[in-house]
């Protein structure tokens, strides 16, 4: 018991080290500096005297914290701006207005915020500089339905895609084609101003066209791709009629496509990744090593069905226990990325809590093993938890309370499994977002 208690304590410390490495304000300041009247962004120089106005816009769970860094760097040179964040993710800004809105399902506040950003960008001229701050959650928060669509259409479509197990790249491909700002359309509205986008990535591989649905990036996906995704998950008969008509008209060339690579509107656009899941994993590894663990980053590209991913991690734990491969005890295995959950029951939870529950079922026969899985944004599904922690004694303690882990897993009810055990990972809003961080410790 004493060994498990220490392993749990270490897991929390390692997870916290990962979070600290992707603090949004510090991430911005690593890539953006100012010397007198010269702004430097990742090697590119922007003489502030050349610009009539410097506006700040953005969307995402971390965008307010990122705006704090920009206000600190630029001070009075910031003319104003607006960023849209998830409820509870605000920050005390002096020049930039913060609008709180719904996530992961968009709401009226997001609609209003997007309209105000469009209004501001439409005033921009060639001698203006737009600093765009993008982070995870931006897709839902930057809600501007394409012509002929309603907020209700987008809400319904978002929920369908979340429930069917679609990958985030697939969800965002469709979001881009239902929006007036995503898929490069924000850059289209801002043209001919100079646009610099600073991006905190929450997508595997950090593709700028997918993060927050790429509002400032060329979009390689098409309306035809969207129809294929809908057919793949068998939801053709469930999507709103307006959405189906819009996508079909787009595939037939009756609705304008999103801006593609090579479009001249991107000539004055620069997109810079300032933070990612990789940074969080590397910081977690360094922390684990200082605590004496033989540490290994398994992969930052983990995706797929959560239960299968949990089974893979448990198999690695068994291999370490049996052969000392790929690292020997004491061991810390770290992985990142973002899995998906196909909803089969009516329970409550999220992908990280479900990962911990599925892993608990597979590690009970081992000794001194702890698994922690958490969303770096502090939220996991529609719950107040970031994730959960489990160990090889979790099922024994659960049975003592009359909890059947298999039944809770089948109902997708991981939250109500871990809550009475006191094993939910509750951080509150972390004000950052770089996907998930999973840890597996063997003492």
Least confident stretch, 5-14, 164-173, 363-372: 164-173
| Main-chain dihedrals φ then ψ at residue 387, nearest 5 degrees | 170, -145
**pLDDT band, very low/low/confident/very high, at 2 (cuts 50, 70, 90):** low
Task: Please give the Cα distance from 280 to 278 (Å, whole number).
Answer: 5
Q: Over 90: is that where the pLDDT of 223 sits?
A: yes
What is the pLDDT averaged over residues 131-152? 94
What is the pLDDT averaged over residues 262-272? 97
* Distance between start and end Cα atoms, the chain: 11
Note the pLDDT tens digit of each residue in 308-320. 999 999 999 999 9
Element (H, E) at 248: helix 241-251
For residue 93, what pLDDT is reported? 97
Q: Supply 324's token pair.
A: 């000392």
Distance of CA 336 to the CA centre of its chain: 12
Paired residues of 425 in beta bridges = 387
Task: Please give the Cα distance from 213 to 139 (Å, whole number).
Answer: 6
What is the pLDDT averaged over residues 140-166? 91
Residue 270: closest CA among 195, 210, 206, 215: 195
Kindly state the percentage of the chain with pLDDT values over 90: 93
Q: Over 60: is that where the pLDDT of 1 sits?
A: no
Task: Please give the Cα distance from 31 to 403 (Å, whole number).
Answer: 49
CB burial of residue 92 (10 Å; 0-12, 13-18, 19+): exposed
For residue 162, what pLDDT is reported? 85
Q: Over 90: is that where the pLDDT of 208 sits?
A: yes
CB burial of residue 287 (10 Å; 0-12, 13-18, 19+): buried
Angle CA 261–266–269, to nearest 5: 130
**pLDDT band, very low/low/confident/very high, at 167 (cuts 50, 70, 90):** confident
Task: Please give the Cα distance from 376 to 16 (Å, whole number).
Answer: 9
DSSP state of 88: T
Task: Please give the Cα distance from 369 to 314 (Å, whole number).
Answer: 10
Q: Over 80: is that where the pLDDT of 263 sits?
A: yes
Q: Is 269 helix (H, G, I), strand (E, B) or coil?
A: strand
Note the pLDDT tens digit of each residue in 348-390. 999 999 999 999 999 999 999 999 999 999 999 999 999 999 9
Note the pLDDT tens digit of each residue in 126-136. 999 999 999 98
For residue 280, what pLDDT is reported? 96
Question: Which residue intervals of 40-107 are DSSP H helices?
Answer: 63-74
For residue 104, what pLDDT is reported? 87
Rg of the chain (C-alpha set): 22
Task: Please give the Cα distance from 318 to 324 (Å, whole number).
Answer: 9
- pLDDT averaged over every residue in the chain: 96
Cβ atoms within 10 A of the Cβ of 16, count? Answer: 15
Task: Please give the Cα distance from 347 to 126 (Å, whole number).
Answer: 52
Task: Please give the Cα distance from 200 to 198 (Å, whole number).
Answer: 7
Angle CA 54–55–60, to nearest 5: 140
For residue 163, what pLDDT is reported? 87
Note the pLDDT tens digit of each residue in 52-73. 999 999 999 999 999 999 999 9
**pLDDT band, very low/low/confident/very high, at 291 (cuts 50, 70, 90):** very high
What is the pLDDT averaged over residues 182-198? 97
Angle CA 285–86–16, to nearest 5: 20
């Amino acid at each position: 018991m004493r060994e498990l208690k220490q392993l749990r304590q270490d897991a929390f410390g390692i997870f916290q080290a990962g979070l600290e490495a992707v603090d949004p304000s510090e991430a911005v300041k690593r890539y953006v500096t100012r010397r007198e009247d010269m702004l430097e962004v990742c090697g590119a120089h922007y003489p502030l005297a050349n610009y009539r106005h410097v506006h700040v816009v953005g969307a995402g769970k971390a965008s307010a914290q990122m705006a704090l860094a920009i206000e600190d760097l630029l001070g009075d040179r910031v003319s104003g701006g607006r960023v849209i964040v998830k409820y509870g993710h605000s920050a005390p800004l002096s020049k930039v207005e913060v609008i709180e809105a719904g996530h992961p399902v968009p709401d009226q506040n997001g609609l209003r915020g997007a309209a105000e950003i469009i209004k501001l960008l439409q005033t921009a001229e060639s001698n203006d500089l737009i600093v765009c701050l993008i982070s995870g959650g931006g897709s839902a928060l930057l809600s501007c339905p394409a012509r002929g669509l309603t907020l209700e259409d987008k809400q319904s479509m978002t929920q369908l895609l979340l429930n069917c197990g679609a990958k985030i790249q697939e969800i965002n491909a469709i979001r881009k084609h239902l929006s007036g700002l995503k898929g490069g359309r924000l850059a289209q509205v801002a043209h001919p101003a100079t646009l610099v986008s600073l991006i905190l990535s929450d997508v595997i591989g950090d593709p700028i066209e997918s993060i927050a649905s790429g509002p400032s990036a060329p979009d390689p996906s098409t309306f035809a791709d969207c129809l294929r995704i809908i057919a793949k998950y068998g939801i053709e008969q469930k999507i709103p009629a307006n959405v189906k008509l819009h996508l079909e008209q787009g595939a037939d060339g009756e609705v304008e496509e999103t801006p593609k690579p090579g479009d001249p509107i991107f000539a004055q656009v620069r997109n810079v990744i300032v933070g990612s899941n990789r940074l969080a994993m590397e910081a977690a590894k360094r922390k684990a090593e200082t605590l004496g663990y033989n540490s290994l980053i398994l992969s930052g590209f983990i995706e797929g069905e959560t239960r299968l991913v949990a089974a893979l991690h448990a198999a690695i734990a068994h291999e370490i226990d049996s052969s000392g491969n790929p690292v020997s005890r004491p061991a810390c295995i770290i992985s990142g990325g973002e899995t998906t959950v196909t909803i089969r029951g009516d329970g409550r939870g999220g992908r990280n809590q479900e990962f911990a529950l599925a892993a608990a079922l597979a590690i009970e026969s081992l000794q001194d093993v702890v698994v922690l899985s958490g969303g770096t944004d502090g939220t996991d599904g529609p719950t107040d938890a970031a994730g959960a922690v489990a160990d090889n004694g979790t099922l024994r303690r659960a049975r003592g309370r009359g909890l059947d882990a298999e039944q809770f897993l089948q109902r997708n009810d991981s939250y109500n499994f871990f809550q009475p055990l006191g094993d939910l990972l509750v951080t509150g809003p972390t004000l950052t977002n770089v996907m998930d961080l999973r840890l597996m410790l063997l003492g």
